Amino acid sequence: MVVDVNVLAVLACAIAAMILGVLWYGPLFGKTWAQLMGWGSMTAEMLKEKQKGATPGYIASFVGALVMAYILSHSIAFAASYPALASYSHLQVGLTTGFFMWLGFVAPVTVGTVFWDGRPWRLWFINAGYYLVQLLVMGTILALWV
């Protein structure tokens, strides 16, 4: 099966992911996230130094979001062709696929930070929650942008 990928929808997903990240790690959970990451005790100079080196991280995040949206678009196309989902709307297929991609790939891989790195569960919920919402937003964009 050949999947026609809507490049504009994939680009829109990556842009939406970056906007979501700014909101998620800014006004929504930014202070809590920074404290859980151990950044609460950083001086203003230390924070400025971290921000100077943030550009590669933003670029990597954007490229990662492009890849994620591209792969999700394929997964949605395959899910939409599955007979058991024939009665689902495009939106339902997009949301269901995004959720199961998160449940099957993101959640199991990231939960290791709690057990191996000793990170708090609250930090995991913030980070994993971001990826859940990101995949749901991407699933919505990709499913509705026909």
Q: Model confidence over 27-46: pLDDT tens digits?
A: 999 999 999 998 877 777 77
In 3D space, the residue among 21, 31, 7 whose CA is nearest the CA of residue 57 turns out to be 21
> Which contacts of 52-57 are long-range, i.e. CB under 8 A and separated by 24 or more positions?
none
Residue 109 near residue 124, CB atoms below 8 Å: no
Q: What would the DSSP string read from start to end of 57-124? A: HHHHHHHHHHHHHHHHHHHHHHHHTSGGGTTS-HHHHHHHHHHHHIIIIIHHHHTHHHHTS---HHHH
Tell me the C-alpha distance between 63 and 32, whole Å: 26
Q: Model confidence over 93-110: pLDDT tens digits?
A: 999 999 999 999 999 999
Number of helices followed by number of strands (H, E) in the chain: 8, 0
Mean pLDDT across the chain = 92
Question: What is the value of pTM for the model shown?
Answer: 0.91
Q: Which two tokens stand for residue 51?
A: 């921000």
Residue 95 near residue 139, CB atoms below 8 Å: yes
Q: For residue 1, what pLDDT band results from cuts at 50, 70 and 90?
A: low
The H or E element containing residue 11 is helix 7-23
